[in-house]
Amino acid sequence: MRLLSEMRVPMVDVEALAAAQRRNLEALSAANRVALEGAQAVARRHMEILQQSMSEMTDAVRGTSASTDPQDRAAKQAEIVKASYERAVTNMKELADLIQKSNAEALTVLNKRFSEAMDEVRGMVAKKEG
């Protein structure tokens, strides 16, 4: 920016250009922060799901080993497998929704700044033409 200022390039408002670049970097930083927070939330939730799954699996093994009747044991195992599958699908959807929400929030920050930047460019062009 200093180089442009020293060169005194006509039709370029160096201060406005520097301010716009600063706002661009701030928006990029904010979008990265939102994405990082989203990734951390997904990781925390994923860890909670893993801990819950391990606990449920331990309880299930204890529950099925208590039965001596093979048909009863098979029925319990089938129930456990079905319930585990349903929970896994629900958990995957929850994690996907968290990721999608985080991405949408980060993209909103960037889209807002892009729109502002285009308005700034239009304003600079209009100012120089007028």
Polymer length of the chain: 130
**Quick one: CA torsion of 51, 56, 59, 65, rounded to 10 degrees?**
-120
In tens, the pLDDT along 79-124 reads 888 998 999 999 999 999 999 999 999 999 999 999 999 998 888 7
Q: pLDDT at position 16, please?
A: 80
Q: pLDDT at position 37, please?
A: 96
In tens, the pLDDT along 6-54 reads 555 556 677 787 888 899 999 999 999 999 999 999 999 999 999 999 9
Of the listed ranges 58-62, 108-112, 123-127, the least confidently predicted one is 123-127
Q: pLDDT at position 30, please?
A: 96
Show Cβ contacts of residue 73 under 8 Å, excluding neighbours closer than 6 positions: 64, 67
Task: Count the neighbouring beta carbons within 10 Å of the beta carbon of residue 9.
Answer: 12
Task: Count the neighbouring beta carbons within 10 Å of the beta carbon of residue 109.
Answer: 19
Question: Could you tell me the residue ranges of all domains in the chain?
Answer: 13-122
Q: pLDDT at position 11, please?
A: 61
Task: Count the neighbouring beta carbons within 10 Å of the beta carbon of residue 92.
Answer: 11
Tokens of 7: 């060169």
Tokens of 119: 């308005």
Q: pLDDT at position 15, please?
A: 79
Residue 8 phi/psi, 5-degree rounding, is 55, 55
